[in-house]
Structure 1
Amino acid sequence: MSMAVVGMIAGMALAFAGYFGGFGAFLLVAALGAVGFIVGRFLDGDLEPGEFFRSRGRDDGRPR
């Protein structure tokens, strides 16, 4: 399935949630969709847990 089709399905799900459930349901569907996307990336092997916790190149954040 192409990414365009996946995006269309996600957009339709958000639209239905927003229309029938209100803004709270829209936010809930969007948040759960983001969590599902991240979990899917982990399961596919495209994302490693350590990528969220790596330092940005500085040891303690102070200039030398």
Structure 2
Amino acid sequence: MSVAVVRERLVLFLAAMARGSGSLAGDEEALLVVAGNPVRSVCATLAWRALAGALDDAGLT
């Protein structure tokens, strides 16, 4: 999977979590269940935000 595809999925997932809805693939869609609970939402997005930070730190776009 290319970095561009990973970035696109990151953006789509985090936007869907912020809205509480969206059309995501498979397991990503299942995580939307927690979007209404702020504490669980933070936990559900932690790995995604860490991945985004790692890509940024590595200078990968």
Tell me the TM-score normalised to structure 1 length: 0.39
More helix by share: 2
| Higher RCO, Cα 8 Å, sep 6+ | 2
The structure having more radius of gyration, on CA atoms, is 1
